[in-house]
Amino acid sequence: MFDIMIKNANLATPQGNMPKSGKAQGEILIQNNVDIGILDGKIAKIAPRGELGTPAQEVINARGRLVTPGLVDSHTHLVFGGFRQNELQMKLAGAQYLEILAAGGGILSTVKATRAASFDELCDKAEGFLNDMIDHGTTTTEVKSGYGLDFETELKQLEVVRKLNIHHDMDLVATFMGAHAVPTKFAGNADGYVNLLINEIIPKMADEGLAEFCDIFCEDSVFNVEQSRRILQAAKKHGFKLKIHADEIVDLGGAKLAAELGATSAEHLIAASDEGLQALAQSDTIAILLPATSFYLGKPYARARDMVNLGIPVAIASDFNPGSSPSFNMQLALTLAYIGYRLHPCEALTAATLNGACAIGLGETKGTIEVGKDADIVVWDCPDLDYLFYRFGNNQVYTVIKNGGVTYEID
């Protein structure tokens, strides 16, 4: 007896456990009229319609709707105090993202609000976001700290992630990002903060064991390449896997550094040079691209087509944060990837499922609909993949299946 059966699905899924690149990024298995049996939270059987051979306690009739793996959001800053609605008007009046940060706003204003917020406040707020994210088809998400810039507050953020990972249906992967900005206390002395990170905060954070990855904002007037290299080498020594916010606004050489250090992912890459992309193409690093950020900051779209053509595996994520992307809607990210990057819907689906899962170390269990994988599944109120990408702004989820149960169902 299956726990759940999804009947009459139009299945679209990448296959396998490893990141897909080049032509393979667009190779999606599309199978109409299939039934999917789910047992103990895992995908137990996939068969042509009517041939599952075993009954189920609960039957979801997809009636020919599109069924895909749950979306994997591989880059978010989910846990934060306050919001930054005041910045939008400033940006539209011509203020640049890095100018707002240099004036003590941007990330630094969120740091103030996050330090001031209690653990419970942060937890309740993030939990609300997670509820909405699942309702929009995201079933796994990465979460970065980085709004503390001191040990206590960074730890508070990561403890929120741990608690939510235990109590919420969403699967969370934590990234320590103490090097998200230079804290006000160290203004003009970035090296002082880099030393504190290397000598104290990173070793202590490694002992806490709450984060699998370490990330850094390698950017003009934030952390330069040499500082980024020192921090990430220390993090690697302490057992963290590496991520880099690379070449988001200025081409500093973050992509090259990611390749040099064997980082799991290089993220943003809007301004990455040919040399940076060549270095990524020679490495195993996954490019995580954030189209909603390009849209929201009015910046160019990263060169996703070039990356796919060069054989770099591309993932797509929301970059949900209170400044440059106050949206966790991965459906929006998919449509923007199609229109802004010119990724084909099949390439973009791989980017938002299997490649995203691989970019956060979960390729073995997430990102595809195959027997043995976790049953993280979205039934869309859409006939096919083209339709999912064509509509935008409305929530197209019909049902989400997660942890062996139905978490979201339209009535």
Environment class of 40 (CB within 10 Å of its CB; exposed 0-12, middle 13-18, buried 19+)? exposed
* Contacts of range 224-229, beta carbons closer than 8 Å, 24 or more positions apart: 224/252, 225/252, 225/253, 225/254, 225/257, 227/179, 227/190, 227/191, 227/194, 228/179, 228/254, 228/257, 229/257, 229/260, 229/261
| Closer Cβ to ligand IZC, 253 or 322, answer by number | 322
By C-alpha distance, which of 71, 68, 11 is closest to 356? 71
Number of residues this chain uses to bind ligand IZC (CB under 6 A)? 11
User: Near ligand IZC by CB under 6 A, which window of 65-73, 203-211, 318-326, 361-369?
Assistant: 318-326
149 forms part of the interface with ligand IZC (CB under 6 A):
no
| Closer Cβ to ligand IZC, 25 or 318, answer by number | 318
Q: Least distance to ligand IZC from the beta carbon of 169, Å?
A: 25
Q: Least distance to ligand IZC from the beta carbon of 350, Å?
A: 25
| Closer Cβ to ligand IZC, 254 or 322, answer by number | 322
Q: Least distance to ligand IZC from the beta carbon of 267, Å?
A: 9
> In angstroms, rounded to a whole number, what is the distance separating the alpha carbons of residues 411 and 399?
10
Close Cβ partners of 94 (under 8 Å, ≥ 6 residues apart): none
Q: Least distance to ligand IZC from the beta carbon of 48, Å?
A: 46
265 forms part of the interface with ligand IZC (CB under 6 A):
no
| Closer Cβ to ligand IZC, 77 or 136, answer by number | 77
Close Cβ partners of 86 (under 8 Å, ≥ 6 residues apart): none
By C-alpha distance, which of 141, 199, 149 is closest to 356? 141
Q: Least distance to ligand IZC from the beta carbon of 323, Å?
A: 3
| Closer Cβ to ligand IZC, 154 or 248, answer by number | 248
Assess contact for 388 and 66: CB atoms under 8 A. yes
- 204 phi and psi, to 5 degrees? -65, -40
**311 backbone φψ class: left, alpha, beta (φ>0; ψ -120 to 50):** left
> In angstroms, rounded to a whole number, what is the distance separating the alpha carbons of residues 218 and 252?
8
| Closer Cβ to ligand IZC, 168 or 245, answer by number | 245
Q: Least distance to ligand IZC from the beta carbon of 197, Å?
A: 16
Pattern 182-221, ligand IZC, x by CB under 6 A: -----------------------------------x----
77 forms part of the interface with ligand IZC (CB under 6 A):
yes
106 forms part of the interface with ligand IZC (CB under 6 A):
yes
Within 13 Å of residue 368, how many CA atoms lie on the same side as its CB?
25
| Closer Cβ to ligand IZC, 75 or 229, answer by number | 75
Residue corresponding to tokens 């980085």: 146
> In angstroms, rounded to a whole number, what is the distance separating the alpha carbons of residues 333 and 377?
18
377 forms part of the interface with ligand IZC (CB under 6 A):
no
Close Cβ partners of 320 (under 8 Å, ≥ 6 residues apart): 73, 76, 77, 78, 129, 326, 327, 328
Q: What angle do CA 388, 173, 384 make, to 5 degrees?
A: 10
129 forms part of the interface with ligand IZC (CB under 6 A):
no
User: Near ligand IZC by CB under 6 A, which window of 49-57, 104-112, 117-125, 193-201?
Assistant: 104-112
User: Near ligand IZC by CB under 6 A, which window of 230-238, 303-311, 317-325, 344-352?
Assistant: 317-325
User: Near ligand IZC by CB under 6 A, which window of 41-49, 316-324, 374-382, 399-407?
Assistant: 316-324
245 forms part of the interface with ligand IZC (CB under 6 A):
yes
| Closer Cβ to ligand IZC, 10 or 324, answer by number | 324
The site for ligand IZC (CB under 6 A) is made up of 77, 106-107, 110, 217, 245, 248, 321-324
